[in-house]
Amino acid sequence: MKRDLISLEDWTRFEITALFELAAKLKGNRTHLGGHLSGKSIGLVFQKPSNRTRVSFEVGVFHLGGNCLYLGPEEINLGVRESAADVAKTLSRYLDAIVARTFTHQDIVDLARYADIPVINGLSDKHHPCQALTDIFSIREKFGKTEGIIFAYVGDGNNNVCHSLLLGCAKMGIPMRVATPKSYEPDKEILNMAKSFAQETVGQIFLTHSPKEAVAGADVIYADVWVSMGQEKEAKKRLKDFKGFQINGALVAGAKKDFIFMHCLPAHRGQEVTSEVIDGEHSIVFDQAENRLHVQKAVMALLIEESRALKK
């Protein structure tokens, strides 16, 4: 049966750990699994712009010996020109996997439901699993472990990155604190799911409206944009609502001395983070960006030919 990466809900701790081990191997040796996707084609069905996701998938497919097709909104126009079901059924006749970036999460669910080939979520309004897997891989790389690393997310709790981090941190035993303005708390269903996963690990989830409380003694401080793609009309209100949630020198002074600063990028200096922090010595944002490549190569290798990748 084919396997997808839609959200971290259905990925076990064991599978995530195996994925990280393969990603580390791929990072150490760029030519590892060099011919793995030979003769295979991967399509990127993107409805939104992208730098990291598009480039890291395209380069990753190239490293693994496959062929990559970028299908932007002008080509497919998911749900407008053609239904997600028809797109999935058609592309399954040509391709070996789909990476999709959509507005509505349901579009990715539908693509996966109707496709005979793996579907990888490259960002939807609800989840960004490739980002969260990479972030947790990066934490493991910096600290040598994930369990017990205190993670503070400050900003929009009700967005794709925060939701995927909640699920990923809970599964990997990372206590996560989320500081948001009122009415920007995470989606209740995803939060409850993450809380139930956290009960099986040393992960815990703590919500607050105080950034100071969230970062006190934290090992990791994480920021995302205040206005996600598709929310541009709310920009004025959001910039006002998020005032006080900026990650700056005064705020990070409350974290552990050797804390790391993380951001999925793109970043807006002067809004969610100051230049002093994102360009400072604690920031690992470009290591994160690089790790997208290694982690996603592992995702593709595992999903497209699971058994072959694990044996090598």
Residue 106 CB, shortest distance to ligand NVA, in Å, is: 16
Nearest to 265 by CA among 58, 52, 7: 52
Q: Which is nearer to ligand NVA, 130 or 304 (CB)?
A: 130
The residue ranges that bind ligand CP (CB under 6 A) are 50-53, 123, 131, 264-266
C-beta atoms surrounding 16 within 10 Å: 20
Q: Which residues are catalytic?
A: 101, 128, 131, 224, 264, 292
Residue 160 CB, shortest distance to ligand NVA, in Å, is: 5
| Neighbouring-strand partners of residue 78 | 82
Q: Which is nearer to ligand NVA, 114 or 153 (CB)?
A: 153
Nearest to 179 by CA among 128, 221, 123: 221
Residue 213 CB, shortest distance to ligand CP, in Å, is: 27
**Can you tell me the distance from the alpha carbon of 186 to that of 283, in angstroms, rounded to the nearest whole number?**
25
The residue ranges that bind ligand NVA (CB under 6 A) are 159-161, 224-225, 228-229, 264
**Closest residue to ligand CP in the complex (CB):** 53
Residue 134 CB, shortest distance to ligand CP, in Å, is: 9
Six-digit token string for 302: 């595992």
Containing H/E element for 109?
helix 105-114
Q: Which is nearer to ligand CP, 141 or 306 (CB)?
A: 141
DSSP state of 207: E
| Residue 51 interaction partner, one of ligand CP, ligand NVA, none, beta carbon < 5-8 Å per kind | ligand CP
**Can you tell me the distance from the alpha carbon of 31 to that of 76, in angstroms, rounded to the nearest whole number?**
33
| Neighbouring-strand partners of residue 16 | none
Q: Which is nearer to ligand CP, 55 or 239 (CB)?
A: 55
Residues ≥6 apart with Cβ < 8 Å to 241: 181, 183, 184
| Residue 159 interaction partner, one of ligand CP, ligand NVA, none, beta carbon < 5-8 Å per kind | ligand NVA
| Residue 91 interaction partner, one of ligand NVA, ligand CP, none, beta carbon < 5-8 Å per kind | none
